[in-house]
Amino acid sequence: MILYIYITVLIYSIMKPKSFFLSPELVTHKQYEALRMYFTEQKPAHEVASRFGYTYRAFTSLVASFRNKLETDPTGSFFFVEHRPGRKVSSETDQIKSLVIEMRKKYYSVPDIKVALDGLGLHVSEKHIYNIVSSEGFSRLPRRAKLVRQQLDSVQIAAEKSSPLDFAPEVFKSSNAGILMFLGLIRRYKIDTVIDKSDYPGTSVIDKTSSILSFLALKLANRRRYSSDDTWCMDRGMGLFAGLNVLPKTAWYTSYSDRVTSEMNQKFLKQLHRVWSKAGLLEDTSNLDFTTIPYWGDDAHLENNWSGKRGKALGSMLAVLAQDPDTGLIDYGNADILQKDESAVVLEFLDFYNSSTTKKNNKLRYIVFDSRFTNYENLRKLDQAEINFITIRRRGKKILERISNLPAQGWKKVKVECAGSKHRTLRVYDEQVFLKGYDKQIRQVIITDHGKIKPAMIITNDFDLAIEKVIRKYARRWIVEKSISEQIDFFHLNLVSSSMVIKVDFDLTMSILANNLYRLLALQLERYEHLSVQSLYDKFVLNGADIIIQEDAITVQLKKKRNLPLILEAMQTFSRQKYPWLNGKNVIFEGATYS
């Protein structure tokens, strides 16, 4: 090649200007002169062919090829190359520009576009993205509510294939970096070890720990469904949470959950129960309640269960949750409850608790539930197991008549603690009655002046607990109802996309773990212990960051936020923590210089 260029230069250096046009040496130059003579001088084809050394057939083919090329490229760039000064435009630049324009048309902000491009391995600055947006005539986006930003139309972009992160030094941006705050809690309570010892499967590319953390990342980030690939597939920060370059695509989640069984979920919950118990996070009381998980597809094989949120019976799955009222942790869950087995669920929970706890750490003394949770025969079994229960008794017409005829001297007024350290005065009647089915005396507390028309009747087998504490313990049962409401609203239990109970049970298990991580985070944040999951997400977790992977650490520079100082202070306790699934690096949280 070098020799050819040298000879060509040598020929032109000794060639006269006239000979350059009459005796062209380069093939393209000879073709150009031959075609120019044919079209401009109107010379016959056989004469032009003879003049430039072509056969007649070869020249006519050249003419036909020229006509075709001219139709697609009228500028004739196949003969002439224009040398433009400045940076050359590459195919990658064109790809970036088209992606930026497509996402901006669907109202994605510059930081959101930057996150998606980083996930695709296209590293450009926000300034460059802004320049593209401005040059294309897009105006500045108006200030939008969080809900509006979360409901943007999805962009069909082919995300990178998920794989273990190599942890080479790099910098990228994430719009969901707030979920990285949960890493310290996962490691502190050795939840990663529980995952590793569980029966959950791994895949040929993604190991067991990263697989479960991939599900958990979407739960913590308030993703409604995995029914279609979205920008979360390209958020490098969410991938980092699981030790991956990016999270897997939708099809992977569906395929993985097909391999999970109910036994795996129950074993996993038992191991978590041991973690909570050993850490002293479970007190002496558990609140139990049912929740209905509707399915909006073909529900012919599902039972009709009453949905309080919808106010009607729906083809659905019935699930049970058990929650500690003091810490807010959900200790037990099962989405595979049939109506014929409802009454026995309280005994199943007791078996679960006893099989997961050593006698030394077993603090359970009270189980609290509503009147429809179980029957009187099972109450007797709880009493025989030396477990105190507190529940409410159903009110029939004859019972109401009896209450109205109770002697006035037996009633007394008590002050019961309410939320916010306030107190409420109630009129109560404490007595012992015989229950058919329970077949022995039971304590019954009748309550009036509680804001309801009809009196309430609490029954319990604890005859020694102060009446104020009995009422207080049952009143706190609303906490589990509140938690169920959060499960529906934040973790989207009413948006399951499968009618397979086993899949829903796995989804419920992941929701329970995510809920408990939020409650543990709340315990780290002084004065915010009682915030709902949604409020914790809005105030602390919903935040973007620049993420810097270094040789020995990962630095997360969180964007400015009102509560950022409290976040940084809470995360300081985890600054020396090392994470096995993050190549043994520790994660350091800092504040960014921008909002």
Residue 406 is assigned to a structural domain of this protein: yes
Write down the mean pLDDT value for the chain: 83
Over 70: is that where the pLDDT of 578 sits? yes
What's the rounded mean pLDDT across residues 395-423? 83
What's the rounded mean pLDDT across residues 420-436? 85
* Contact of 246 with 233, CB cutoff 8 Å: yes
Q: What is the pLDDT of residues 122-133, one digit of tens each?
A: 778 888 888 888
* Cα 144 to the center of its chain, rounded Å: 22
* Contact of 33 with 52, CB cutoff 8 Å: yes
Report the domain count for the chain: 2
Question: Tell me, what DSSP letter sits at residue 301?
Answer: T
Q: Which amino acid is at 191?
A: I
User: For position 379, which CATH number holds?
Assistant: 3.90.350.10
Of 462, 490, 518, which residue sits at a domain end? 490
Question: What pLDDT is recorded for position 9?
Answer: 53
Over 70: is that where the pLDDT of 84 sits? no
Of 36, 53, 72, which residue sits at a domain end? 72
Residue 461 is assigned to a structural domain of this protein: yes
Residue 399 is assigned to a structural domain of this protein: yes
With cut-offs at 50, 70 and 90, classify the pLDDT of residue 69: confident
Least confident of 73-77, 158-162, 182-186, 424-428: 73-77
Question: What pLDDT is recorded for position 148?
Answer: 65
Range of the domain at 452: 298-490
Length of the chain: 595
* Distance in Å from the first CA to the final CA of the chain: 56
Residue 337 is assigned to a structural domain of this protein: yes
Q: Which amino acid is at 173?
A: K
Residue 136 is assigned to a structural domain of this protein: no
User: Which of 483, 513, 475 has the alpha carbon at shortest distance from 320?
Assistant: 483
Q: E strands within 153-302? A: 170-174, 285-294
Question: What pLDDT is recorded for position 494?
Answer: 57
Beta strand 388-392 with 366-368 is parallel
Rounded Cα–Cα distance for residues 438 and 456 (Å): 20
Rounded Cα–Cα distance for residues 194 and 269 (Å): 10
Rounded Cα–Cα distance for residues 276 and 283 (Å): 10
With cut-offs at 50, 70 and 90, classify the pLDDT of residue 500: low
Of 437, 456, 490, which residue sits at a domain end? 490
With cut-offs at 50, 70 and 90, classify the pLDDT of residue 418: confident
Q: How many C-beta neighbours within 10 Å does residue 523 have?
A: 15
As a whole-number percent, the residues of the chain with pLDDT over 70 amount to: 84
* Contact of 311 with 317, CB cutoff 8 Å: no
The reported pTM is 0.77
Beta strand 312-323 with 330-337 is antiparallel
* Contact of 203 with 267, CB cutoff 8 Å: no
Question: What pLDDT is recorded for position 346?
Answer: 93
Residue 554 is assigned to a structural domain of this protein: no
Question: What pLDDT is recorded for position 517?
Answer: 95
Contacts of 199 (CB under 8 A, 6+ apart): 261, 263, 264, 267, 268
Over 90: is that where the pLDDT of 216 sits? yes
